[in-house]
Amino acid sequence: MRSGVIAKKVGMTRIYNDAGEHVPVTVLQMENCQVVAQRTQEKNGYTAVQLGVGLAKVKNTSKAMRGHFAAASVEPKAKVAEFRVSADNMID
């Protein structure tokens, strides 16, 4: 199973279901979410997908992270998170 998302909470609102009752919902914004790296069982000892979201200025990104993003061919990201997934759900 694959799970995980990086999002920014924009606010709250409500929607109405078929019975006319209102249900409170959270509004989330996902901006420019990209896969930065894939961790495999053979190479890293576990299986995971690393996601990056938002844009960061190059001057505010460490040299190590700049190299990490360059290897993935993506622009520097403001936030990076890693989510463990099962091996059969990895992206090819």
Distance CA 28, CA 15 (A): 15
Which domains are delineated in the chain? Answer: 8-89 (3.30.160.810)
Residue length of the chain: 92
pTM for the whole thing?
0.74
Q: For the chain, which ranges sit under pLDDT 70? A: 1-3, 91-92
Hunting for tokens 């209102």 — which residue is that? 22
Residue 71: predicted pLDDT: 92
Q: Which tokens is 52 given? A: 């990056």
Distance CA 35, CA 25 (A): 27
Residue 2: predicted pLDDT: 60
Residue 87: predicted pLDDT: 83
Pairing mode of beta strands 79-84, 48-53: antiparallel
Q: State the DSSP H helix or E strand holding residue 36, giving kind and residue range, or none if neither.
A: strand 34-39
Contact 35, 91 (CB under 8 A): yes
